[in-house]
A = this chain, B = another copy of it.
Amino acid sequence: MTPNRINKLVVIGVGLIGGSFALDLRRAGLVDQVIGVGRSPENLQRALQLKVIDQAETDPAQAVQDADLVLLATPVGQMDAVLACIAPALPRHTIVTDAGSTKRDVAALYRKHLADSLDRCLPAHPIAGSDLSGAAAARYSLYEERKVVLCPLAETAGTTTTRIAALWQACGAHLVTLDAERHDAVFAAVSHLPHLLAFAYMNSVLDRPDANDCLRLAATGFRDFTRIAGSHPEMWRDIALANRPALLGDLQAFRHELDQLIEALQASDSAALAERFARASAARTHWGKA
């Protein structure tokens, strides 16, 4: 089914996620006009040059006039202010969705600011993160074969969900539906916790007196393990704070697992080490092959 065309798409936060969404929809012939909104004039200028957007705007309230669809693609920490700003200016027919990495908090923000048009709101999360950011990171086919999690509110109209789903599918994405709470629990475990561990690990290396030797001799294991430590600091601060309860639980669970490993190593308990490593190794080797 071909999704309805969008006359005016407003992307608030023109980076990897929002920019790549706009590029794919335009290529698919599904959007006429893309308005990019952001706080950085340099980034908006770059987005114009790269033809990710047709028009740049710094005032979100101004941008959303006549919009058919608004995608909030800023870090989650900015969404409260953005929604407060656009709410009074938003046309009644406009659909609002987002690409926030956490969903309970974003769902609460829709309720806070757009209580009268929740039928037109759909919290969503495209799983296509990267350590890259900014308009220059936007690219075609980012969402090909990727998952997009939709977390409809009880009030979200079926037509709203169908319309957004069709757009993500036009980008090549596979859809998954989860309630916001389950979403946040799963992504605390598989995304937010690894990011915090990678940041902490990287800092523990930098604290060493031989940090330079370490960085010079580090190889592919280090490269892959720390890739996500290169991620956007403010974005991850926002995510950590937004998903704080789930993430704190997972950090404690990890710490417990780590303490048991430390204990086994302190005791030179060869069998316990081998057993723990084998369990992890078998699961990781099997992962993605099922």
Residues of chain A whose beta carbon lies under 8 Å from any beta carbon of chain B? 127-131, 146-147, 149, 176, 182, 185-187, 189-191, 193-208, 210, 213-215, 217-234, 236-237, 240-241, 244, 247-248, 250-259, 261-262, 265-266, 268, 270, 273-274, 276-281, 283-285, 287-288
Contact = CB atoms under 8 A, between A and B. Distances in A.
Contacts of A237: 270, 273-274, 277
B278 A200 contact: no
B265 A200 contact: no
Contact of A244 (B182, B190, B265): B265
Contact of A219 (B128, B131, B234): B128
Given A228-B224, A237-B273, A276-B199, A253 B207 contact: yes
B206 A280 contact: yes
Given A197-B197, A265-B244, A274-B237, A280 B202 contact: yes
Contacts of A232: 281
A176 B254 CA distance: 36
B191 A222 contact: yes
A67 to B, nearest CB: 29
A180 to B, nearest CB: 14
Which of A146, A207, A226 has the largest count of B CB atoms less than 10 A from its CB? A226
15 contacts: A129-B221, A186-B217, A189-B205, A190-B217, A191-B221, A195-B221, A202-B279, A204-B254, A204-B257, A207-B257, A224-B228, A233-B274, A233-B278, A233-B281, A251-B258
A241 B248 CA distance: 31
Oligomer copy total: 2
A253 B204 contact: yes
Contacts of A222: 190-191, 194
Nearest to A147: B217
Closest A-B pairs by Cβ, 8 of them: A202-B280, A233-B277, A233-B278, A230-B284, A190-B218, A199-B280, A224-B224, A229-B284
Given A201-B197, A224-B227, A219 B185 contact: no
A108 to B, nearest CB: 16
A56 B83 CA distance: 70
A219 to B, nearest CB: 5
Given A190-B205, A206-B283, A244-B268, 7 more contacts: A128-B219, A190-B215, A224-B227, A229-B283, A248-B266, A252-B262, A255-B258
